Structures are given as C-alpha cells and as structure tokens.
Amino acid sequence: MEKDVRVRFAPSPTGALHIGGVRTALYNYLFARKHHGKMILRIEDTDQNRFVPGAEEYIMEALAWCGIKIDEGIIEGGPYGPYRQSERKSIYMEFAMKLINEGKAYYAFDTPEELDAMRDRLKAARVDSPQYNVITRATMNNSLRLSEDEVKARLSSGEPYVIRLKVPRKEEIRLNDMIRGWVMVHSSAIDDKVLMKSDGMPTYHLANIVDDHLMKITHVIRGEEWLPSAPLHVLLYRYLGWEDTMPQFAHLPLLLKPEGNGKLSKRDAEKHGFPIFPLQWKDPNSGDEVMGFREQGYLPEAFLNFIAFLGWNPGTQQEIFSMEELIDCFSIERIGKSGTKFDINKAIWYNQQYLKEKNKHELAAYLTPLLEKNGISASDEKAAKVCETLKERVTFPSDFWDQGKYFFIAPTDYDQAVASNKWTGEAVSVLQSFKERLETLETVTAEDVKSLLNDVLALQQVKIGRVMQAIRLAITGVAAGPDLMQIIEIVGPKETAERIENALVTLKEHAKN
C-alpha cells in the first residue's frame, strides 16, 4: 500500500463492549499490524444522553485483555488528539459553518412538535419512509425557506436550531466497498441528516468524517449496520473537498443468532446461556450484571481465535492461530459478505485446545489460587501433576478444581449408583488386600500401582473389570475420571490406603456377595 495505514476503532461509551465490537476492533488491529500501520482508539461520546459511567474504562480493559494494543488514544495520546469527541466540539462547528457558508448545509429551527406533524402528514399521504428531505424541507422552518433577516433574528435570539446537510435532489452516489464491491445509492433515498444538534454537539455523521480526515484514517473497517450511512458519508467527503483523501471502506457482515435468523443480541445470549461481552459488566443504571467470557474461564487467546473466524477465514484448514499468525494471514478479501452464525460450542472447543497446549506448570497457575481459596496447601509439583492428568478432560481453568478436588480432599460422599451396583463382596476383598499392600509403601509410580493391583487380582482370580469402578469409588468418591493409577501415584500410597479404609467402613452396608 502506498500510504501509511491508519485505522481506528471508535466505540461509544454507552455500555459494555459487544462481541461484534470486539471483532471490529480485532479486524482493524490485524489489518494495521499486517501493513505496519497504526491502530487508533477514538471514543465517540457525542450523544451525552446515552453516556454510561465506567463504559470507557470497560472498553479499554476489554481491549487490553484481548491483546489488542492501541497506538494512539485517550490514554496513549498522539499527534491528532484529543481522541475523545466531546473534547473536539469546536472543531466540528468550524466545518459545519464551512458547509453552511458554501450552501451545502442549512439551519433548521423546527420544533419536535413541527417535526411530528410533518411525519404525520407524510404518513397520511401514504409515504413509506417519512423524512426531512429535498421535498419536505421546502415546507419547514429552515434557512432555505426563511428570509435571511428572519434567520439572523432567530439565531440572535438564541432560538434552538440544528444544522442539516443539504442533500442534492438527483444524484447517484457510489462507493467501492472492500468487501461488497460497488454500492450505489440515489440521493433521493437520503434524508437531510442533522450534522450539529441543538446542544452544540455533532452527530456521528459529521464527527466521524471530520475526525477520520484530521486523524488521517486510511481505512474504515466497521459493522454492516453503517452501510446505509456510507453514501451520506461519501457525500460529506465530497462537500468538504476531501474526496481525494477519503478512506477506503469495509463493512463487516452481521453476527447472527445461533439459529441464523437475525442479529445476535444480549437477549439471545441470556436465552442460550452464553456471554456476548468480553468481560463481566454491571450496568450502573439498572444494576443488571452479565457474565463475560473472561469470568466464564475463556482464555484471551482462545477467545480471539474464535472471534477472528466469525466472518473471516484463512483459506486453509488451519484453525489454531497465534496473534502473530493471524496478523500474517489476515486480509480483508477473505472476509465474507453474508452474516455469520454465533456458535458458542466452537468457542468452547477453542478454549479446550488452548488449555491442552499449555504445559503443566502454566496450568498449575490456574489451580493454585483455587486451592488457596479453598484453604488447601499443596506443593507446586503436585498441582502441576494434577493439571497434567486432567488437561485432556477440562474446558475451563476452574474445571481443574471442580473435577480434581479428590486429589486434595478425601471423599466423604460416594456415588450411590456405583455403590449400589459395584460395591460387592468381591470388590471389598480386593480392596482390603490392595490397601494392605499400599500401607507398606512410601511412594509409588503409576506403573508400580498397576503391577501391585494386578498381583492382588491374580491371587484372588478376579478380572479387573469386575472391581475397577469400586476401587475408583473408594479413592475418589465418583464413577469416572482420569487414569486411576496416575491418581494413586499423585495421592500417594498411604493416603490412598486411608481412603480405602474409610470407604470400607462407610460403604459396608452396600457390600454384596
């Protein structure tokens, strides 16, 4: 690419960052890094009525957790700040006035009641989409219809007004989208959008165009929901004389419900029991709290790998990608046009794969705090061995404790279904003999345990399948788990013997011939 690539992620601080926003940020980041460019974080807080305290901090924490590094922003600074739109108010008015002075925008003094009346008239006339446009503007209170003196008088008196874009009547507006190809819209389908609100704040349409130009943004990668506004933005670039430096646009496909019938929402997440926010979020207004991917135990690298594939594919069979590999393989051309179903099972699969790839000491770092939380003291080596034994069976880091507490705590309850069916006199006899042999040992390996157990079984002429579940029950209290010989090696022979003795006493009434 000829010019230095500069992209931006520009969220509004109106709540938690939706998974669709994370994907947009990720694709911008991958594109910037692929082309050795810059990633800018701009906070678009022009709608002060929807501002939510804590949302800004949440956005930055979420991006940091994901590993998306910002080059310029409200924390990092940069040569084109401020990077918070509410601090750039005077800049937007300057360009709004430029458009007014050149006859490309106008003042509109219409009250909410007058706007409602206009829409009601259009609805009564069976107009499909009532809007303030090239036709209706001629009947409204604006500087195109009012005399120059009356406009000046209204402005001098402090009467509230907005500034609207003067959209041409008959013009075809074209946009070459990097994902969708040529998009063409007739100007008659575009209404005279408000550029500056009555509170002196710009709307998204003006602010993002001005900021993208002044911040030298070269590529705008954003959600499909902004595609209908893109022709309006092209028109603004033309009106402001910036067509030659207009960024290239890429509008990402929608994230769809698991059923594939509509846009993914918070309600869908609640219905299906999965998160759609990267981090836990508590709404300061309603008090509602929603779980995030982080709090549910997803690893950030697994989460990002999952997000990357929601609309993009590398064109190969490879599914596991490090951030560096994603950067190397990423291209806008491999983003699809159609919506992508959100499949939480794929996210779970990614998490399992990333856990499996970690070594036992890395995994122990997840288990150790859980042990401490439950008042258990264990060596780092034991925690590492437990994690190594369990890692093929877990989905989330918390599973190391949930599925492996019997490594640290002797069972006091036993699976009653197994006890009723498998706790036989034959099993009791084998366990008694097995226990006596274990009591004489200080340490054992899994191979030692296997050999010792086989000796007992051979002497009593019992096949292992007839008693294995009873032995597991005595030592762990549950019916299934990892290799029993490895469990005994980690628990230790003397502790195992004590557990067997306790089970023999506790489950005595279950013994059958």
Q: Which residues are catalytic?
A: 266
505 in helix, strand or coil? helix
Phi, psi of 276 (to 5 degrees): -125, 10
Report how far residue 220's alpha carbon sits from residue 249's, in angstroms, rounded to the nearest whole number.
5
What is the chain's Cα-based Rg? 33
Report how far residue 347's alpha carbon sits from residue 369's, in angstroms, rounded to the nearest whole number.
25
User: In sequence order, which ranges of 176-224 are alpha helices (DSSP H)?
Assistant: 204-214
Which tokens belong to 187? 């100007």
User: In sequence order, which ranges of 16-54 are alpha helices (DSSP H)?
Assistant: 19-34
The H or E element that residue 487 is part of is: helix 484-491
Report how far residue 454's alpha carbon sits from residue 445's, in angstroms, rounded to the nearest whole number.
14
Tell me the angle at which helices 446-460 and 484-491 cross, rounded to the nearest 10 degrees. Answer: 120
The H or E element that residue 255 is part of is: strand 255-256
Which residues pair with residue 186 across a beta bridge? 172
Residue 202 DSSP class: B
Contact (Cβ atoms closer than 8 angstroms) between residue 23 and residue 223: no
Count of Cβ atoms closer than 10 Å to residue 60 Cβ: 18
Report how far residue 212's alpha carbon sits from residue 42's, in angstroms, rounded to the nearest whole number.
10
Contact (Cβ atoms closer than 8 angstroms) between residue 289 and residue 52: no
Contact (Cβ atoms closer than 8 angstroms) between residue 258 and residue 342: yes
Phi, psi of 410 (to 5 degrees): -65, 140
Residue reference for tokens 């051979």: 458
136 in helix, strand or coil? helix
As a whole number of Å, the end-to-end CA separation of the chain is 81
Residue reference for tokens 């106008």: 106
Contact (Cβ atoms closer than 8 angstroms) between residue 72 and residue 4: no
Q: 82: cis peptide before it, omega within 30°?
A: yes
Contact (Cβ atoms closer than 8 angstroms) between residue 127 and residue 250: no
Which tokens belong to 21? 């926003």
